[in-house]
Structure 1
Amino acid sequence: MNQVYTQVSIDQRGVANLVLNRPDVHNAFDDQMIAELIQELEKLASNDQVKVLLLSANGKNFSAGADLNWMRSMAEKDYGQNLDDANELAMLMHKLDKFPKPTVAIVQGAAFGGAVGLVACCDIAIASDNASFCLSEVKIGLIPAVISPYVMRALGERQSRRYFLTAERFNADIAKQLGLLHEVTSVSELADKANGLIDNLLQNSPAAISAAKALIHNIYNRKISNNVVAHTTQAIAEIRVSDEGQEGLSAFLEKRRPNWLAPKPQDN
């Protein structure tokens, strides 16, 4: 039986932790890990118990990128087989990017190559101050093609021109300046920082969060046109008349907790 390269747990709050679990090879990913991640993302996306998704990794490093043996096998495959492999990786990035619940990447140590794409696909990314990043593909005669739409969205074209071409390593503080990360903290405080963000997310309407994510995907980088304006007006009208929209507005006006939050002990 093959070793499982990922771990999944869901706590009582509805926080799912999807963990890269190949610490012996710095969580380098291959076709098996990619397939497992896709499968788990699909299951978690359809699970109504899940409110937030954490993407994390066991061991000292988040991920060293592509597995050496996997890359060796790709060198022996023809164009069609390489296209199939690339399509699987593209599907993983797409599934993570369009995951309907909020996603938080927690990064420690190295995040190289395709791992930078995973970080860029998450809604929120935090890292320890010992984290480092590298878009290393050109060093071995390749390009960061599949991850490029997500990484360029985070870094912008100008910075992508530098880091795609130089393949230089950059630290967590630079990654934050570039827009890849939202927060940098010490290793010892990483879990607390993540939990603080999760607490904020869990206060909010699950339906509204999903709708807000869809809004961003639909509106970002589009010219403000009549179609865009119409989309936004329809979006707010739809959410206002939705069950959670009605509940949220009523709770606000009545100065009570909305029903997606558990009552406070003193409210019982």
Structure 2
Amino acid sequence: MDLIRVDRDGRGVATLWLARAEKHNALSAQMMTELQDAAQALARDDSVRVVVLAAEGRSFCAGGDLGWMQAQFAMDRATRRAESARIAHALGALYALPQPLIARVQGNAFGGGVGLVSVCDVAVGADSLKMGLTEVKLGLIPANIGPYVVARMGAVNAAEVFMNARLFGAGDARRLGLLNRVVAADALDAAVEDEVTPYLSCAPGAVRDGKALLRRLSGGVDADAVDAATDALADRWETDEARAGIAAFFDKRTAPWAGGD
């Protein structure tokens, strides 16, 4: 793998690294495929007791790679739908991990990056980070990540940030339910270790069964919701707004709804 790295220690802790720091870990097609493959491999590995989702560089994840998104305009609807669903597949593989999944959020997370945080069981973030669901600025919607974001935050909290592209800090992310703990950047690794350690004194099978039961009791995210979200994004890609928003971004122009050129 080129854009994802997996480290394992002797305790059964695997760290799944987003390793595209020079691009702020923006999710390209290759990166999402590698992320899905890595998550599925970890799910099958009974020696792995806890998984940490982490990122190299200053940013946790800038969201979907804009070049990848721009290329989708040349596709027909069915091909574009399949291509844009890559992020749903990657998130689904992480969400389906039987092991506890802990996010180490060291930097900014936008769009798909918020989706990555949302599929984790526990998320620890640095106090300096910013987050936001910025898709609507481009004429798109946070669709493929939507089922996981709403499951994590709840509909009331999600409504505060889901469709206005507002950037918010770590304190608000904790209040909204995205982060469980907020610490100084130099305390992040210790805080993540504090979340990992208790699982290592528990029966691994009981932890997995407990997570499965929790998902069942909470309703989880079902396939129908994921399909509906994917369809909603496919519909939005067909709009003049989406074309204008993406074009304005790449041309470094102001989008029409934000005041025009």
Structure 2 residue matching 1:19: 3-state secondary structure: strand
* CA–CA separation in structure 2 for the residues paired with 1:147 and 1:124: 17
Any idea what the Cα deviations from partners look like across 1:173-223, whole Å, max 9, x if unmatched?
Answer: 10001111100001100000111111111111111111111111111149x
* CA–CA separation in structure 2 for the residues paired with 1:178 and 1:32: 31
Equivalent residues, number: 220
Deviation at 1:119, TM superposition (A): 0.4
* CA–CA separation in structure 2 for the residues paired with 1:52 and 1:85: 30
Deviation at 1:159, TM superposition (A): 2.3
Deviation at 1:88, TM superposition (A): 2.2
Unaligned 5+ segments in structure 1 are 223-268
What is residue 36 of structure 1 aligned with on the other side?
34
User: Partner amino acid for 2:4?
Assistant: T
Aligned partner of 2:77 among 76, 79, 89: 79
**1:9-48 alignment runs, 5 A limit:** 9-48=7-46
Deviation at 1:83, TM superposition (A): 1.1
Unaligned 5+ segments in structure 2 are 221-261
**1:216-227 alignment runs, 5 A limit:** 216-221=214-219
User: Partner amino acid for 2:122?
Assistant: I
Identity %: 38
What is residue 129 of structure 2 aligned with on the other side?
131
Structure 1 stretches of 4+ moved >6 Å = none
Within the alignment, does 1:156 sit opposite 2:162 as a pair?
Answer: no
User: Partner amino acid for 1:101?
Assistant: Q
* CA–CA separation in structure 2 for the residues paired with 1:154 and 1:68: 25
* CA–CA separation in structure 2 for the residues paired with 1:84 and 1:207: 35
* CA–CA separation in structure 2 for the residues paired with 1:40 and 1:172: 28
What is residue 191 of structure 2 aligned with on the other side?
193
What is residue 111 of structure 1 aligned with on the other side?
109
User: Partner amino acid for 1:179?
Assistant: G
* CA–CA separation in structure 2 for the residues paired with 1:96 and 1:31: 16
Deviation at 1:40, TM superposition (A): 0.6
**1:33-72 alignment runs, 5 A limit:** 33-72=31-70
Given that 1:154 and 1:178 are in contact with CA atoms closer than 8 Å, whether structure 2 keeps it comes out as no
What is residue 163 of structure 2 aligned with on the other side?
165
Structure 1 residue matching 2:141: 3-state secondary structure: coil
